[in-house]
A and B are shown apart, each in its own frame.
Chain A
């Protein structure tokens, strides 16, 4: 049985391949330079409209910036005689005469309610329970430059908690409390040009609705949307990677199938890993330009989740298959790894349930939040902690297995001097390249973690007056995304079975030009794929 390409590739070819991979990796980082930051924000101050007839509560009655009766809450005299149900806070998105483009993908809304201190009216409880009646309408541009009338999009009555602190040192009448922001909604698609939020804060003393609320001076809606430029760069990356990964997969599977044996477990794992990556790379974002797809956020979560689950499982199986202890004759299957893989499964399933509970429900109700009820919070925490625990168990397990592999390798290494020079070079090369790939994985993981930390730091340090031309965040995003693509392409290429037939005696040359040959007596274990493992079996025989 031939080994993998990794072992049979000459040093020169390998270095050319590695150079190409590194260059494409660099290209991914450079692509990030032309992209703007991933997301932008816009803070919208609510216009307070007066609803004269709150009783006939029609869902097709909308208040926008042109509403007939506006008031300013800071002028108390203008609110006399009004009831909480009369007030409608209207926020029109986006501001400044702009309109949303489908490239901007999704919209997150965060509410900031400014409560002011009034003498003798201190808040009874700093933790304010809010009941928000929120409605969203949409409108589109017409061909003659106008706008279509507002159409109902969604509405909900939803509960939120807001924590308000007051700095006692500077108590002054009319000064604002320091309140936390309240997450309000997440729209998975920005298909329409304009959106309008109508917010009401109903008051009911008997039902204890909004009774803890103090005097509100302003309500801000902070909206976050993806940047069109970033989406374009991102989708271009995907469009480039998708056919490449597909071609490599087809090539890989052809090679496996042209062998006389059945595909080995590691080969199945590799092709599925390639498959999940292709699924992740599939540029379905193009469809959002023509169809309203509110499930895109959820779908992209799922796509990433499936990919990471597969990657984690692959690492486990990969390490396991190189454990260098072969139970002869038995064909390895996934069943052997069920104990190892169950940690991945538990983690991923709990994250999936969590995601279903939050973003899944957003498909029906964009205002839903699992965190507002105690039961929901506990449930969400349970799932997140569960996922965290299984991630911990997984990594402990993986580290233990890698440690064992390296221990085995060092044991086998001690046997090496007793072999002929050609054979020794051969095996040293294989171990070297195996370690090299391990090293590559470690580097990829380290780069990912570091760039994650860096992007957190960059976001944390961002000052307003700095020159923000260089968008480190998008460079990090495209770079890391490209890195995992390159990594998996490399795995698929280097671990594809080799077709090269080598004479039983190695033609030995020196240095980098050595073309490593295969063992002649590798029939003992028919199902291993790398000659490293056959080397171990051989060493066992010896």
Chain B
């Protein structure tokens, strides 16, 4: 019944879902394009994947705002979802990458909870990794075989033979399949950045080990990789953002044309494999842009907190946000009610006193 309704573009789905979400509209059964390629065994799984993707988007947004808190561009809701569309600025590169990473992260998490039954246990990772122009075909063939009864029992045999330690491939599959691209310059840049985002999840994975040999000694030791907390992924992506590579449109066009003619599946952008790339100069984020709905930095809060744990961007925030944009920094002192002397009780209650505290707030005028 779901297959009858299908959105043409996945990006459209992101948008629609996003808009609905932020207008508190409850949609019962979101339909996503995943049907076409990733075959899911049950309708509950489809819902599971859709829900998981949604929380992935929220995760991406939340962490995007966290890491850009003291920058001129601060990843507002509108901006974030605008940039995951077809622009090619540095910020768009970051938004795309963090969105892809968050989807992988979120699906992987829900897979390990057992909410999605179809999470892959098959050694398809090599097909999923790297990017190739006809990946859709590949995934199609991979997933077609899942439907095959014979292959299904084969995968069960694999489980009892060699186990299943890989939890991320399904997340990768969904994230990869979820987002479609145009075959133009912007499409290929976007594709690259999405792939960087997915790769980051692999690169930040944490290794955990356990000894279980004779008498619990380390004569046998088993290690496995676990997806890192998303804050680490976001932080790593921010580093990538700072080192993003700008490409000229002609360069990319030539590379795309070349890769189309020789059917080169491997990387075809003239850029480092794991660097974020962008084509366009970012607009001046100091000033208001009515068409995009960008408010400018006027009225933004900056920080003059100084402690050994203050980050560089926070320390420079007043200069960066206000003075560089021609604004003045204004100080405002207020007395606010704050909870203090909190006493947390596992699991679910906190008892706090209410204290009055003088807070200094700096902002651009």
Interface, chain A (partner B; CB < 8 A):
36-47, 65, 73, 76, 79-84, 86-87, 92, 94-98, 101, 103-104, 108, 110, 112, 114, 118, 120-121, 168-172, 175-176, 181, 183, 186, 201, 203, 205, 210-211, 213-216, 220, 222, 224-225, 227-229, 232, 300-301, 304-305, 351, 354-355, 358-359, 452, 455-456, 459-460, 462, 464-465, 467, 477
Number of A-B contacts (CB under 8 A): 182
Interface, chain B (partner A; CB < 8 A):
66, 109, 111-115, 117, 119, 121, 126, 129, 156, 159-165, 167, 202, 205, 207-210, 212, 214-216, 218-226, 229, 231, 235, 309, 311, 339-340, 342, 344-348, 350, 352
Does the CB pair B156–A98 fall under 8 Å? yes
Does the CB pair A95–B219 fall under 8 Å? no
Does the CB pair A359–B220 fall under 8 Å? no
Given contacts A92-B114, A181-B208, A224-B222, contact A40 B347 (CB under 8 A): no
Does the CB pair B212–A205 fall under 8 Å? no
CB distance from B346 to the nearest CB of A (A): 4
With most chain B CB atoms within 10 A of its CB, the pick from A42, A73, A216 is A42
CB distance from B196 to the nearest CB of A (A): 14
Does the CB pair A464–B112 fall under 8 Å? no
With most chain A CB atoms within 10 A of its CB, the pick from B167, B216, B309, B339 is B216
Contacts of A172 in B (CB 8 A): 66, 231
Contacts of B219 in A (CB 8 A): 452
Contact of B231 among A82, A170, A464 (CB under 8 A): A170
Contact of A98 among B66, B159, B210, B340 (CB under 8 A): B159
Instruction: Report the nearest B residue to A36, measured CB to CB.
Output: B162
CB distance from A199 to the nearest CB of B (A): 12
**Cross-chain pairs A/B with CB under 8 angstroms, 17 sampled:** A37-B163, A37-B222, A41-B224, A43-B112, A82-B347, A94-B159, A96-B114, A121-B344, A172-B231, A176-B229, A181-B210, A203-B347, A213-B346, A224-B210, A227-B163, A229-B162, A232-B161
Contact of A104 among B160, B218, B231, B235 (CB under 8 A): B160
Does the CB pair A203–B346 fall under 8 Å? yes
Does the CB pair A87–B347 fall under 8 Å? yes
CB distance from B205 to the nearest CB of A (A): 5
Contact of A96 among B121, B340, B346, B348 (CB under 8 A): B121
Does the CB pair A45–B342 fall under 8 Å? no
CB distance from B171 to the nearest CB of A (A): 13
Does the CB pair A175–B231 fall under 8 Å? yes
Does the CB pair A456–B202 fall under 8 Å? no
CB distance from B266 to the nearest CB of A (A): 15
Contacts of B113 in A (CB 8 A): 44-47
Contacts of B115 in A (CB 8 A): 47, 65
Does the CB pair A118–B210 fall under 8 Å? no
Contacts of A41 in B (CB 8 A): 163, 165, 222, 224
Does the CB pair A84–B346 fall under 8 Å? yes
Given contact pairs A103-B160, A168-B309, a sample of 14 additional A-B residue pairs in the complex whose CB atoms are under 8 Å apart: A37-B222, A41-B222, A44-B114, A47-B115, A95-B111, A96-B119, A121-B350, A211-B346, A214-B344, A220-B112, A224-B222, A227-B163, A301-B215, A460-B223
The 3 closest A-B pairs by CB, nearest first: A40-B163, A36-B162, A229-B161
Q: CA A488 – CA B286 in complex, angstroms? A: 80
Given contacts A38-B222, A103-B160, A222-B224, contact A171 B114 (CB under 8 A): no
Q: CA A193 – CA B215 in complex, angstroms? A: 26
Q: CA A181 – CA B119 in complex, angstroms? A: 25
Given contacts A43-B226, A456-B218, A459-B221, contact A37 B112 (CB under 8 A): no
Contacts of A186 in B (CB 8 A): 212
